[in-house]
Amino acid sequence: MARGTRTSLEVSVRAGARIYTGAMLVFLIVPVLVVLPLSFTSGQLLVFPLPGWSLQWYEDFFTNPIWTNALRNSVWIGVVVTALATTLGTAAAIGLHGCKARWAGAVMALLVMPLAIPVVIVAVATFYFFAALGLVGTYAGIVLAHTVLALPFVVVTVSATLQGFDPNLVRAAASLGASPFLAFRTVTLPIIAPGVVSGALFAFVTSFDELVVAIFLSSPQQRTLPRQIFSGVSENISPTITAAAVVLLVVSVALMGIMELLRRRSEKLKMAGGQTT
């Protein structure tokens, strides 16, 4: 008898927990989805219900030089940042992996530090520093600052894929007469490729979504998409910002989705590898 009541209590607790979880998921998802319908409004105001449907804001986004310029800037800056951060970060991760010295931990901590410090401090400190170097309001300035923020992601993801990797393999290749570059290309790279790719995607999204550094370092010519949306939210309010937001959303979710797939695949591979050894 007592047992029966306990189960019914348990059942209702479980049901309650599920409803609660469902409600919380709605809370998490709805704000992300709410910009979608608004970007197709035929009205001028960001309110529901929509007076009608229209593609005018997408047309504005893809034809107005302010927005096309912002999109081009974001893509370009993102690509250069990705190349820089991936090169630097992969090298550092391989170096760290092969290094058993005690200070290697300190190097790792230094490289991921930019993630641990509030971004507003990083941005303001970089602004003062770059102002003295004449790098404020230049593409180089934003690229360098974004690379600092993107680098930790590459280091962390590549390090993670290197975890099961035996450095003796490279030594073996070298002893067989392979140049370091050949050894890297034929031995190391195939193994760490998933980590490098997700690190690169992470680096791109970091730059592509970044706002605070862009607020401080960009002049109107280097305006990135987030920076232009930010300005649009406060200064030049028009539904075009929702169209821009949808573009931003689609790009980051798509890239992160690819990364998640990669991560799962490499996890499966790792598990499979673990079982055979």
Q: 45-84: which residues touch another protein (CB under 8 A)?
A: 45-48, 66, 76, 80, 83-84
The single residue among 143, 187, 200, 262 that binds another protein, judged by CB under 8 A, is 143
The single residue among 11, 12, 32, 267 that binds another protein, judged by CB under 8 A, is 32
**Per-residue binder mask for another protein (CB under 8 A), 11-30, x = binder:** --x---xx-xx--xx-xxxx
**Per-residue binder mask for another protein (CB under 8 A), 158-177, x = binder:** --------------------
The single residue among 96, 162, 173, 187 that binds another protein, judged by CB under 8 A, is 96
The single residue among 39, 41, 74, 126 that binds another protein, judged by CB under 8 A, is 126
> Which of positions 222-251 make contact with another protein (CB under 8 A)?
222, 226, 229-231, 233-237, 241, 245, 248-249
Radius of gyration over every alpha carbon of the chain, rounded to an integer in angstroms: 24
3-class SS of residue 112: helix
Binding span for another protein by CB under 8 A among 55-63, 89-97, 189-197, 267-275: 89-97
Give the number of C-alpha atoms closer than 13 A to the C-alpha of residue 256, restricted to the C-beta side. Answer: 11
The single residue among 12, 59, 220, 265 that binds another protein, judged by CB under 8 A, is 220
Quick check: 146 and 207 in contact, CB under 8 A? yes
Q: Which position has the token pair 């049901």?
A: 15
If the CB atoms of residues 98 and 273 are measured against another protein, the closer one turns out to be 98
User: How far is residue 9's CA from residue 6's CA, in Å, rounded to a whole number?
Assistant: 5
Taking the complex as a whole, the smallest distance from the CB of residue 24 to another protein amounts, in Å, to 5
Taking the complex as a whole, the smallest distance from the CB of residue 206 to another protein amounts, in Å, to 11
Q: Which position has the token pair 């509030």?
A: 118
CB-based contacts of 270, cutoff 8 Å, min separation 6: 164
**Per-residue binder mask for another protein (CB under 8 A), 174-203, x = binder:** ------xx--x-------------------
Number of residues that bind another protein (CB under 8 A): 107
For 113, other C-beta atoms within 10 Å of its C-beta total: 12
The neighbouring-strand residues paired with 41 are: 53
Q: Is 114 left (phi over 0), alpha (psi -120 to 50) or beta?
A: alpha
Question: Residue 100: which H helix or E strand, with range?
Answer: none
- Integer CA distances (angstroms), 118 to 82, 122, 123, 144, 154, in order: 22, 7, 9, 18, 19
Taking the complex as a whole, the smallest distance from the CB of residue 200 to another protein amounts, in Å, to 13
